Amino acid sequence: DKRLEGVLEYGWFAPLSKLLLVILNFFYGIFKSYGFAIILITILTRVLLLPFTLRGDMNRRKSLDAQKKLAYIEQKYKHDPEMLARERAEYTRKHVLPGLLGMVPYLFQIPLFIALQRVLSHAIELYKAPFLWIPDLSSADPYYILPALISLGMVFQFSGVGDPRKQVTNILIALIIGAFTAQFSAGLALFIGVSTLLGIAQMALQKEFNL
């Protein structure tokens, strides 16, 4: 109903949210399931953002390497403050700052995810729409299955990256995120869960093909 759509607040990215809603309804028209439509639109957004994600991951790895090199320089010249300041400034100018600027590709993902979050949190179409064990995609998962799967997926995802000494912290973060998603609509939790699984698959492929 156009009158109902008019009262919905999609925020700053309303045009993008409305476009995503059109795509969501298009997929629903084919599969007659908003659950499958959410899965497909999640896959579509991940594919569209893949070039930015790969570029951002590559720049992130370069930035981590630069930080390790900087730590080595600080250790090497710790007894020579003047040389340390000179070497650190030079290395930062050549490697660290470009690495930080290289994180910009991640920023391109933010508007799309915010717009999609708005759609999945406010779309009238999801009201009383069932999917598998979920009776209503506009309400929270009553059995907490999706939040549990999201936490497990993130624990697995975190285990493959970062400092092994921070694994306990990563597990706590994953559990906290899972607890938060327990309050989200099941449609939004489904998007986060599928996106997490796709992230794990992407990570495995990047490792396999050294991307």
How many structural domains compose the chain? Answer: 1
Look up the pTM and report it.
0.77
- Of 152, 148, 153, give the one whose Cα is nearest residue 199: 153
* Domain that includes residue 170, residue range: 2-209
Alpha-carbon gap, residue 120 to 157, rounded angstroms: 24
> What are the start-end ranges of the H helices in the chain?
2-6, 14-31, 34-76, 81-91, 97-101, 104-107, 109-122, 145-159, 167-181, 186-209
Q: Which position has the token pair 């907490």?
A: 144
Cα Rg, the chain, nearest whole Å: 21
Alpha-carbon gap, residue 175 to 191, rounded angstroms: 17
Q: Over the stretch 90-108, which tens digit does the pLDDT of each residue have?
A: 777 766 555 555 556 566 6
Q: Over the stretch 106-136, which tens digit does the pLDDT of each residue have?
A: 666 778 888 888 888 888 888 899 999 999 9
